[in-house]
Chain A
Amino acid sequence: MFSDLVQRSVDRPLSMLRACMSGVILAAMLVSGSVWAGWQDPLQSPAMPTERAHRNLLLDVVRADNRLVAVGTHGHIIVSDDHGLSWQQARVPVTATLTAVHFPSGQYGWAVGHDGVILHSNDGGLNWTKQFDGYVANDAIVAAAQKRLQLAEARLEQARLDDDPLAIEDAEMRLENAIFGLDDAQYDASTGSTKPFLDVWFYDARRGFALGAYGMIFHTQDGGQTWEDASARLPNPDRLHLNAITVVGAQSLVIVGEMGLFVRSDDLGENWHQQMSPYDGSLFGLVSHDDHQLLFGLRGHVFRSDDGGIQWQELQTGSEQSLFGGFVGRKNTLLVGNGGSVVFFDAELGKPRSLILEGRQPYAAVVEARNGDYVLVGEAGVKRLNAQGDLLDQHISMAAGDF
């Protein structure tokens, strides 16, 4: 799609120069520390205290026990303990735009976003620390590529020793790919921390995935202390964007993405295999309930499966807007998207009912609060809906972080 066009038309020499410049900036920052006045990298700048984050761009909202946690632009993370009526700003060490958040328990949570940033909280979302960022990600990707190159070289050497022409040819191809891969990785690294994470998911307090643009996916097994480039595990040679990751069974995970990308793992992310995709446009997410699943994407395209994701048929939802987020509630399942579009489904993920919310603002995510109201986030911040789909016009307030 368009992002690819842009990416592939990159003007290399200019970007190299700029990369040098940003390197100098970074060096200057490291030397002089935080006393240096003036602009600092968003990855080094703590989020500014604000009372308006709940009215600005928010991109994800989840529940951590009884608490709601939402993330968005300018490093905003806000939490609410009263079903989304009043919010409190959390302490965040970056100003990067955060795209997704996940809490495997009420205490432990991770948030990811632009500039390859991964943040961690172990106090229910009030205080966050940076575990990972795009610079580290680039180094990790380069390191992984170098490792693959070494492997390929070793394999070629072995093949030559064995004097096996077939193996040599295969190894030469692998080597060539590895060289290109390292080239790409080094080039990407030179442009800075440009790639955003788009989703994050944790199985427990230790094991999790963070994934995003250009096929980027990282895996941790130690609660985010170290992150490993897992992109080689996915059948994604074109490095398509990975838009969302969802758990669909005890050990099963699904990732959806650009150009109908649809992959599945049944061993908690060790091995991934391609699924038959019902759509060749972008998919933005999947929700599941028992064996029922909904796959949603560009321009109101929604597909339903009743057999755990084997067969799909398209649903006429009445919405022609791209749908970006969904949530399976106790009574209803909701999908939300551009143009104020909200689609209600029943508990079995059927009987779609489409509505357009007043203001027609785009929404990115939805969650059901403990009291049964729905909390939506998007371009205009937080909005609340009752179970019937009416906008609740109660005043939503917010307190700035005390830092």
Chain B
Amino acid sequence: MPHRKHNFSSEPEHYILSPAAEPMLERFLFGNRFAVLAVLAVLTVFFAFGLTKIRLDSSIEKYIPLNHPFIQNYLVHQDDLNSGVANVKIAVEPLSGDIFTQEYMETLSKINDDVFFINGVDRSGLMSLWTPNVRWTEVTEEGFQGGPVIPSTYDGSPTSLEQVRQNVLKSGTVGRLVANDFRSSIIDVPLVEIDPETRQQLNYQAFSADLEALIRDKYAPVDAQGNPIGDYRIYITGTPKKLGDLLDGAGKIAIFFLMAMIATAILLYLYSRCPRGTIIPIVASLIAVVWQLGALAWLGYTVDLYSVLVPFLVFAIGISHGVQIINGIAIESGKGANKIQASRHAFRSLYVPGMLALLSDGLGFLTLLFIDIGVIQELAIAASVGVAMIIVTNLILLPLVMSYVGISRSGVAHAEKTAKSEPVLWKTLSYFANRKVAPIPIVIAIAMAIGGYYVSQDLQIGDLDKGAPELRADSRYNLDNDFMVNNYSTSSDVLVVMVETSREQCNSYKVMDAIDRFMWHMENVPGVQSTTSLVTVSKLVTKSMNEGNLNWSALSRNQTILNSSIQRAPSTLLNPTCSMAPVIIYLNDHKAQTLTTAVEAVESFKARYDDHVDEKYFSYTLSEMEQAIEAGELSSVPVRFQLASGNAGIEAATNDVIADAQTTMLIFVYFVVFTLCFLTFRSLTAVACIILPLALTSILSQALMTYLGIGVKVATLPVIALGVGIGVDYGIYIYNRMEALIISGKEMQQAFLETLKSTGKAVSFTGITLAIGVGTWILSPIKFQADMGILLTFMFLWNMLGALVLLPALASFLLRPERMRARHKARHGDLPPAG
């Protein structure tokens, strides 16, 4: 192969990479083909070995904004607040009648026994009508009387069933363990999260599977249509069950990946008509995926419900760049070049725009680092690493392999045929670059932008669906959750405010009274259903100690009475040192408006009631505090109301971070894309032609979110970065080619037609490949993955349309071909432009 002096000018893309590097890089890679491939093979083995270290991460911390003040406050008390979180509730409902039948009680007893033996269950804390810790009490002249709800004399007879009914009424469990309508009852199952013997974290997925197999399938079997064939229905809720379901859902991702791969392979074959040209890009892209996953595993990263999606993107982006290389090689081969020459030419003409496109992808992803949420930052890193891997596997490995393998004759023939043909579609599309036709798409685009902007005014922040928003509204878990919310006095949306004071003071009169007022303040806030705290217990017990007389349902100023009133308070309502007592606020839902209203109400109360004293006083002991008060340092024990915990508290923090990040993200992504395009093309008109179609897609995708009822949430933020970062590729490829043709003297419409003939197909192929890759997510049982799938599919397709329709229309108005040619001539003389 004779050495060829490069004989074309570097404009437009060489602003990014110096021209001198190009032949050197090409010479180096193709001069040492075998050695380079050998190194890449070793790397592949190395990364593949890393795959064995991959594990699915089920920690929740990565999903929340750890640096938000709410979360910081929460983390201080995390250990105190988490006790009691890990429990599941199993509701058993007879298909007909109520729970007071012999058959029901028998079945409940069996289920109770089976649950008892499931691995991970905290057996001492298990609660149901059949456990001895569920008791009824009554005040009589002699004092308290009580006993287990199901007495030891129970024999299933109508009389003993009637006794159970009476006991249930006296037990205060209605709404908690027994449904308000007496048509079901609950087995409350606390879990031991860390196995005391093995010190292993409980496997939620296995636990969830046990519940399904040993309880639900056994006692509430269903037929193929999901109709019950037994006599009972079983409903299971609780965070561990939800995590189990989510992890199950994440497992389905493998199937989606396979589906996407097969669809892509078919498409690739139709495009290239060459088996080698089909298999090799797929293998190269799979290698990119292996490298990406392996590299992250070696770096110690875990896979979570977001980063599990990155391989799809890496694969799809890899394919879309691979196909350009294959296309280039086929065209060169058609011109008569041999395998090596064809590969070298393809490499030479494509690695610069390819690199530029990948660089914009990668930088676009990195803007996600500005969002202070672990999963998003890891998604950014994973995707950026993936893109870096594609640069090696699809821009270097692929042409090198092809230089050995070559393209098949059928592939070359197909490429030649395509190059010569002038499809009606391209012919039609080319009119958009005609100034007479161009106003049509422009006017339509403006109308859509205005309409889209108008619709997206109603765009909400946060998760809008009720129940567990991570799962679909019609998922088993959410249906079960609906049942619990409708039949029991409970809400699944909980805001927890942590009331802090110094040690041993959480039950002092001042703190308790402040909590009491706070609870009443919150109960007056729209969207708040009810509140619970130590004060609730204290009032209830004080009333009970006074013969159940309502007049005594108040806080006592007598410290001894206060102390004894909370002696048996659940440990979840105060920490062991009694320096913190949580107030649990039940909300109607977790819509952003509800959360904002509640959080603002808490803050206005804080502003009035928080004691602003030195931090040290909050860790004072009882005697230190007494001394401090005696010394006049303080007038009373300090108290402050700290936001926030509970799912609603965490969501409020997340919404806060997201609302900020939403704008920041958009600015950064567009800044990156703008800078890259401007550095490359050195022309504001060029930037406008490329970016305006992207902006239209961004506006429309927000309108789509509004229309579909998808709020701005953790999952939708990366969509913007991914959509814009990847979407800009189309514009870069098309504009790059079109500009070259214009400079070489082509008239606008003709230049666009030729652009379409050479890259239009690749661009549309890329758009469709990417859409397929993310489109399979729509089937995911995990709601946010499905939402991301919908939005990304939409963005990839619209960006493609934008590049094919709106870009030429804008170009026909904005570009000044004479000036472009003059500028080129001034810089490069008569050298023809690259592209």
B536 nearest CB across to chain A (Å): 12
Residue contacts A-B, CB under 8 angstroms, 8 given: A1-B546, A15-B560, A21-B626, A38-B609, A39-B514, A56-B523, A192-B558, A362-B550
With both chains docked as a complex, state the minimum distance between the C-beta of A326 and any C-beta of chain B, in angstroms.
Answer: 14
B554 in contact with A97 (CB, 8 Å) = yes
Q: In B547-598, which residues have CB < 8 Å from any A CB?
A: 547-554, 556-561, 564
Q: Does B829 sit at the interface, judged by CB under 8 A?
A: no
CA–CA, A284 to B551, complex, Å? 11
A392 to chain B, nearest CB (A): 22
Question: What is the distance, in angstroms, from B452's C-beta to the closest C-beta of chain A?
Answer: 40
Known A24-B629, A74-B520; judge A2-B545 contact (CB<8 A): yes
Contact partner of A194 (CB less than 8 A), chosen from B140, B544, B558, is: B558
- Of the candidates A3, A25, A95, A324, the one whose C-beta lies within 8 Å of that of B517 is A95
Give complex CA distance A54, B143 in Å. 32
| Alpha-carbon gap, A21 to B557, bound state (A) | 12
Contact call A338/B558, Cβ cutoff below 8 A = no
Which 5 residue pairs of A and B lie closest in terms of their CB atoms, listed nearest first?
A28-B635, A97-B554, A2-B545, A281-B141, A194-B557
Given contacts A14-B559, A73-B554, A74-B520, A37 and B636 within 8 Å (CB-CB): no
Residue A364 at the chain B interface, CB threshold 8 Å: yes
Determine how close the nearest CB of chain B comes to the CB of A147; give it in whole angstroms. 25
B626→A196 contact, CB < 8 A: no
Q: B639 at the A/B interface (Cβ < 8 Å)?
A: yes
Q: With a CB–CB cut-off of 8 A, which chain B residues contact A59? A: 550-551
The answer to whether B636 and A39 touch across the interface, beta carbons within 8 angstroms, is yes
- Smallest CB separation, A27 vs chain B (Å): 8
Min CB gap A23→B, angstroms: 10
The answer to whether residues A51 and B635 also contact, given A15-B559, A42-B513 and a CB cut-off of 8 A, is no
A334 CA / B659 CA spacing, docked (Å): 57
Which chain A residues (1-59) contact chain B, with CB distance < 8 Å? 1-3, 6-7, 9-11, 14-15, 17-18, 20-22, 24-25, 28, 37-39, 42, 45, 48, 50-52, 56-57, 59
Is A114 engaged at the interface, CB distance under 8 Å to the other chain? yes
Contact A338 B551 (CB under 8 A): no
Asked whether, in the complex, the Cβ of B629 is within 8 Å of the Cβ of A10, the reply is no
B585 to chain A, nearest CB (A): 15
Do the beta carbons of A57 and B553 come within 8 Å of each other?
yes
Nearest-neighbour CB distance to chain A for B408, whole angstroms, equals: 78
> How many angstroms from the CA of A281 to the CA of B548 in the assembled complex?
13
Which of A6, A52, A193 has the most C-beta atoms of chain B within 10 angstroms of its own C-beta?
Answer: A6
A319 at the interface (CB under 8 A from B): no
For B514, B545, B550, B629, the residue with the greatest tally of chain A CB atoms inside 10 Å of its CB is B550
Number of interface residues of A (CB under 8 A): 61
With A21-B626, A21-B636 as given contacts, are A322 and B564 in contact (CB-CB < 8 Å)? no
Q: Please report the C-alpha to C-alpha distance between residue A194 and residue B561 in the assembled complex, in whole angstroms.
A: 10
Set A10, A22, A39: member contacting B639, Cβ < 8 A? A39
Looking across the interface, which residue of chain A has its beta carbon closest to that of B635? A28
Whether, in the assembled complex, B521 has its beta carbon less than 8 Å from a beta carbon of chain A, the answer is yes
Smallest distance from the beta carbon of B503 to chain A beta carbons, Å?
A: 15
Closest chain-A Cβ to B583's Cβ sits at a distance in Å of 15
Q: What 0/1 pattern do residues 470 to 510 of B give for CB contact below 8 A with A?
A: 00000000000000000000000000000000000000111
* Candidates B513, B561, B630; contact of A6 at CB < 8 Å: B561
Please state if A10 and B558 are interface contacts (CB–CB under 8 Å). Answer: yes
Q: A21-B636, A52-B523, A56-B523 are in contact. List 18 more A-B contacts (CB 8 A).
A: A2-B143, A6-B564, A20-B630, A21-B637, A22-B509, A37-B609, A39-B510, A48-B517, A191-B558, A194-B556, A243-B551, A280-B141, A284-B549, A298-B139, A299-B139, A322-B547, A322-B549, A360-B169
- Knowing A21-B636, A299-B141 touch, does A324 contact B169 (C-beta < 8 A)? no
What's the least CB distance linking B520 to chain A, in Å? 5
A21 touches B513 (CB 8 A): no
Task: With A17-B626, A52-B524, A192-B557 as known contacts, state yes or no: A38 contacts B610, CB within 8 Å.
Answer: yes
Is B611 an interface residue when CB atoms closer than 8 A count as contact? yes
Instruction: Compute how far the CA of A56 lies from the CA of B626 in the bound complex, rounded to whole angstroms.
Output: 36
B5 at the interface (CB under 8 A from A): no
Residues of A contacting B608 with CB < 8 Å? 37-38
B523 neighbours in A (Cβ, 8 Å): 52, 56
Q: How far is the CA of A14 from the CA of B508 in the complex (A)?
A: 12
* Nearest CB of B to A240, in Å: 12
- Using CB atoms, name the residue of chain A closest to B545: A2
Residues from chain B with Cβ under 8 Å of A368 in the complex = none
Chain B residue nearest in CB terms to A378: B550
**Bound: A99/B543 CA distance, A:** 13
Q: Are B524 and A198 in contact (CB under 8 A)?
A: no
Give A44-82 interface residues, CB cut-off 8 Å to B: 45, 48, 50-52, 56-57, 59, 73-74
User: Across the interface, which residues of B come within 8 angstroms of A73, CB to CB?
Assistant: 520, 553-554
Q: Please name the residue on chain B nearest to A284 by beta carbon.
A: B549
**A59 CA to B636 CA, complexed, in Å:** 31
CB-CB contacts below 8 Å: A170-193 with B: 191-193
- The complex places the Cα of A59 from the Cα of B559 at a distance, in Å, of 24
A379: Cβ under 8 A from any B Cβ: yes
Asked if B626 and A298 make an inter-chain contact with CB atoms under 8 angstroms apart, the answer reads: no
- Say if the beta carbon of A282 comes within 8 Å of chain B: yes
Residues of A within 8 A of B521 (CB): 48
Question: Across the two chains, which residue of chain B brings its CB closest to A192?
Answer: B557
Q: Closest Cβ of chain B: how far from A6's Cβ, in Å?
A: 5
CB of B626 within 8 A of CB of A57, answer no
> Does the CB pair A379–B550 fall under 8 Å?
yes
Docked Cα-Cα span, A192 to B562, in Å, equals 13
Cα distance, A284 to B514, chains bound together (Å): 31
Interchain CA distance A262-B548 in the complex, whole Å: 20
Given known contacts A18-B508, A38-B611, A196-B554, A6 and B549 CB-to-CB distance under 8 angstroms: no
Contacts of A28 in B (CB 8 A): 635-636
B608 to chain A, nearest CB (A): 6
